[in-house]
Amino acid sequence: MKGVYLLVAVLALTSSFVSAYDPSPLQDFCVALKEPDGVFVNGKFCKDPKTVKAEDFFLHVEPGNTDNPLNAQVTPVSVDQLPGLNTLGISLARIDFAPKGLNPPHTHPRGTEILIVLEGTLYVGFVTSNQDGNRLFTKVLNKGDVFVFPIGLVHFQLNVGYGNAVAIAGLSSQNPGTVIVANALFKAVPPISVEVLARALQVDNKVIEDLQRKSWYGKD
């Protein structure tokens, strides 16, 4: 009987690992196809393999336009931009920073991020969960340095150099998702109750109302 309990525990643990990440492909590739209207699946429909071309696996990425309030631009390369990524469990993003540019605190609910600096100097960090005491881990990165942001944790990158900076982020999901903390709190649709936010952040209602009236960049 102990053996049965052990087997059940192992299967449950294995199942939790499998369901926590993108499913493994069951064929060489499954190039994404636009879903028929009104039909949604957990992932993307597959193109007929006989019609797949090299272009389905190719994308040219231009430097991002940093002329915006944050002086930074994230250019994603996920399954939405590169159909060949479908079912492969990876994606990436190019992040361009003007001086003092910021990729603001955000999370990726479905992917771990590994970042390498190609140019410039970045101050980066992430915050652990409540259970771990919300500890802040930070590092100043220079060209060639690599840093990992665990799945689901709030993290950020700030250009602290005197010139532009460029980084490439790899993510462990074809569609890792992004939740920018400020946008989620103050530009939710419909808005989160002022009372809820004021009590949660321990500030006056007027402060929340002012924040909700602001135009938050990246809200699209």
User: Binding residue per annotation — 106?
Assistant: yes
Residue type at 146 in one-letter notation: V
Structure tokens given for 2: 């102990």
pTM for the structure as a whole? 0.84
- The residue among 71, 108, 47 whose CA lies nearest residue 217 is 71
Q: Do the Cβ atoms of 164 and 99 come closer than 8 Å?
A: yes
| Domain spans of the chain, in order of start | 55-177, 184-213
User: Binding residue per annotation — 130?
Assistant: no
Burial 136-171 (b: 16+ CB within 10 A, else e): eeeeebeeeeebebebbbbbbbbbbbeebbbbebbb
pLDDT of residue 109: 93
User: Binding residue per annotation — 103?
Assistant: yes
| In the chain, beta strands by DSSP E | 32-33, 45-46, 72-77, 91-97, 102-107, 113-119, 122-127, 136-141, 146-149, 154-159, 165-171, 179-180
The per-residue pLDDT for range 96-136, each reduced to its tens digit, is 999 999 999 999 999 999 999 999 999 999 999 999 999 99
The per-residue pLDDT for range 55-104, each reduced to its tens digit, is 999 999 999 999 999 999 999 999 999 999 988 999 999 999 999 999 99
* Alpha-carbon gap, residue 137 to 150, rounded angstroms: 11
pLDDT of residue 53: 95
User: Binding residue per annotation — 113?
Assistant: yes
**Among the four given CATH numbers 3.40.50.970, 3.40.50.170, 3.40.50.2300, 2.60.120.10, the one describing domain 55-177:** 2.60.120.10
Tell me: pLDDT of 36 over 70.
no
